[in-house]
Chains A and B, each alone.
Chain A
């Protein structure tokens, strides 16, 4: 049976400090530069480069070093850099708190695609794949391939329209391209652009709000923004309340009995 968890209604709803915000923003830019520089990119991770060159990221970034954040599925850093920008556009940093990058969403998606979900292990995969390619489920591509084809098409589209890579395009240009993907106006091999976009959106929300055990919702900051308490054993004591009750967040690491 589950442990009794602390259910302190006094919530310390932490908001990220400005230093962390600019740190994340810079990370995005630095990755873009690396991706643009192509071949040199693989020699070092974008994060460690950024940590070394950002004065605000001293103690905090050392404390936050995460050995589990390296690419498990994406082989090209350029693809991963597009993914980072795209998920941040879907779930941006704002006055509520961190965006997708700071929540760990890109690494969450990378890990998902490297596992059974990315290769559709639980799905019916016999052909023929006829008819609509409207959804990821109906595509003959697996989810990992859909991401590769989709992200690279975003880059091709950016080069075609703005003569620059997606990661170097302005936020407005990136949004314009993504809106056209969402509206199904772009051709992707093996999947509709809307089908790809819907998968991108749903996995971004997963990464923002999943239990942190999956590598997303880093430090439960997604839950804190949303005032979602997580794995609380029981709400029986407060469920009849008229007033909104704020609670501290509890992850499965804390909840599961050992």
Chain B
């Protein structure tokens, strides 16, 4: 028996950055909001004393429990997909209050102006012919210049520490709210080598912040102490900008926000083309509820958002054979075994304090990013950043050795200990573009704990995906040679390197994409569903491509844009926020 609860102004699925930003902005305006979070309740106190590599980083305590729900995966349309059964293979997204935003490294890059108009700008510069067959390029229906104020708002909410990219003059309306993090020997070594080669290094913008900061909502984030437990951990010190210490605190302070934990959203309830509310299960009692609301906001991870749209039968599911439909299309990611790879330099004579650090402590450069390259001379589109970061190496997960050393036994032990602090890694991260047959739909075989079909991912790598990474690896190698590394290992990218369970990524996008017209996109530039005016689907699910750096700032910026749209919608009594006339120009 499903119990229908009292109606509120807005119900929001998810309490991560996307859901948290929407909650803060709506409740500040006086709207009553209910948040539904499938994971448990957690607060800062839960992270005090949590410096336990095995529990958090190896066993992935803060990530989604796959016994309730997972993905199935295959490469091509004619294969049978099998489930990603364990977080050992690869953990993807967060659960519990604050979502993935609590256990993140905090790299806060802005994407490039070209990213938002990728189709138009590529064709303008190179002509339609340069786009490979079956690649899907499209514009977002919003430009960087229009989005800039929302990036700025996100950076100010999170207190981001950084310095401007020298290759992007005039693209910022304001400085970073806090100065860059401390400089380490690794950062100095990389920076010097990069400058010697004529590149333009700058410090990675960081949500582990350089000094105590109070944001415009009045929330205080502490200065980072560089304790080296960041990426899979909640912050011991309240020094990493996350939804708990920022936007959720703001929402709670308003008195207008109720967050219900252990509340698993199973359907978007809709009648006559209008969203009515969210049906969810209280996983502690097994009871089913419908939470009605004037506006419904789906703000989970890419997979959650896409799956809820498919399960609720909203919008037209994407068909990879003829390219029709939209829900599930444009799956892109920074895959761990390809896009996320690192070229490692080993130094025989030099020791670095690798055990110390924090999530986004590092230096990066955009000399090979999309706008700096001449693609007529290259066998790929888009571009990449190169960077090094010092997150603080923990001993179970960092046992890297030069290429000719075995992975176990006497020599392995000796060398893995010798090189534990004698290493600099250069990571490349490249833009990932969408392909016709890379998409998501509902799996025909496997079910979740409620008996609903799992989300099925179909994805394979193309020549373009491999070529850009091989090229980037060579540039990373040159940087390490300039630094004086004695041994350099480059990940081998062969034709056998393929999308699999080890290549899942916390940087995944697509499925409910944003665009300038309903034929090719699911939401407009306010993240409002074209087909359902009072439904907003917010998050990385709206990305038509994955930019060449970490996506959270773009999720944050789009969430501020979406929240503005929600408020406009509630104030004006509804309708589509983006007019047909504007949508027609493609």
Contact = CB atoms under 8 A, between A and B. Distances in A.
Do chains A and B interact in one complex?
yes
Interface of A: 1-2, 89-92, 94-96, 99, 117, 120-126, 128, 130-132, 135-138, 175, 182, 201, 204-206, 208-211, 213-214, 222-223, 225-236, 238-242, 244-245, 252, 255-257
B460 interface: no
B58 A206 contact: yes
B82 A130 contact: yes
B225 interface: yes
B357 interface: yes
B66 A124 contact: yes
27 contacts: A90-B409, A123-B66, A123-B67, A123-B86, A123-B87, A126-B447, A136-B86, A137-B86, A137-B88, A137-B89, A138-B501, A182-B407, A182-B408, A204-B408, A209-B53, A211-B53, A225-B417, A228-B355, A228-B393, A229-B355, A233-B225, A235-B356, A235-B392, A236-B225, A239-B182, A240-B183, A240-B184
Nearest to B58: A206
Of the candidates A230, A231, A245, the one having the most CB atoms from chain B within 10 angstroms of its own CB is A231
Given A235-B226, A255-B51, A125 B85 contact: yes
Contacts of B255: none
Contact of A228 (B59, B182, B395): B395
Contacts of B420: 226-228
Nearest to B390: A239
A120 B70 CA distance: 14
B577 to A, nearest CB: 39
Contacts of A208: 395
Given A123-B86, A137-B501, A96 B409 contact: no
B82 A138 contact: yes
A225 B236 CA distance: 27
B66 A122 contact: yes
B2 interface: no
Contacts of B49: 2, 252, 255-257
Interface of B: 48-49, 51-54, 58-59, 65-67, 69-70, 80, 82-89, 182-185, 224-228, 236-237, 351-353, 355-357, 392-396, 399, 407-410, 413-414, 417, 420-421, 445-447, 501
A202 B227 CA distance: 25
A252 B236 contact: no
A245 B83 CA distance: 45
Given A96-B413, A130-B80, A131-B82, A241 B185 contact: yes
A183 to B, nearest CB: 11
A227 B421 contact: yes
Contact of B353 (A125, A182, A241): A241
Contacts of B356: 232, 235, 238-239
B185 A214 contact: no
Contact of A235 (B227, B421, B446): B227
Given A2-B48, A122-B87, A135-B501, 6 more contacts: A90-B408, A90-B409, A123-B67, A205-B399, A230-B51, A235-B227
Given A175-B409, A211-B53, A226 B417 contact: yes
A181 B83 CA distance: 25
A159 to B, nearest CB: 23
A123 B85 contact: yes
Given A226-B417, A252-B51, A239 B66 contact: no
Given A232-B227, A236-B225, A255-B49, A124 B70 contact: yes
B182 A240 contact: yes
A24 B327 CA distance: 61
A135 B447 CA distance: 22
Contacts of B53: 209-211
- Which 8 A-B residue pairs are closest in the complex by CB-CB distance? A235-B356, A137-B86, A234-B225, A209-B395, A256-B49, A244-B351, A231-B51, A210-B54
B51 A122 contact: no
Contacts of A89: 408-409
Contact of B52 (A92, A99, A124, A252): A252
A162 to B, nearest CB: 19
B457 to A, nearest CB: 14
A136 to B, nearest CB: 7
Given A90-B409, A182-B408, A124 B83 contact: yes
A91 B49 CA distance: 29
Contacts of B224: 236
Contacts of A206: 54, 58, 396
A2 B184 CA distance: 24
B396 A209 contact: yes
A210 B397 CA distance: 10
B185 A242 contact: yes
Nearest to A241: B353
Nearest to A245: B353
Contacts of A231: 51-52
A153 to B, nearest CB: 18
Nearest to B454: A124
A67 to B, nearest CB: 22
Given A92-B409, A233-B225, A240-B184, A257 B48 contact: yes
B66 to A, nearest CB: 4
Contact of B80 (A99, A131, A229): A131
B395 A124 contact: no
B118 to A, nearest CB: 35
A182 B87 CA distance: 22
Contacts of A214: 54
A14 B85 CA distance: 42
A245 B185 CA distance: 12
Given A138-B85, A236-B225, A245-B353, A94 B396 contact: no
A1 to B, nearest CB: 7
A258 to B, nearest CB: 9
Contacts of B52: 211, 213, 231, 252
A205 B396 contact: yes
B357 A235 contact: yes
B99 to A, nearest CB: 18
Nearest to A250: B51
Contacts of B399: 205
Contacts of A244: 351-353, 421
Given A96-B417, A124-B83, A137-B88, A238 B353 contact: yes
B413 A91 contact: yes
Nearest to B413: A91
Contacts of A213: 52
Contacts of B445: 128
Nearest to B356: A235
Contact of B88 (A131, A136, A209): A136
Contacts of A125: 67, 85
B363 to A, nearest CB: 14
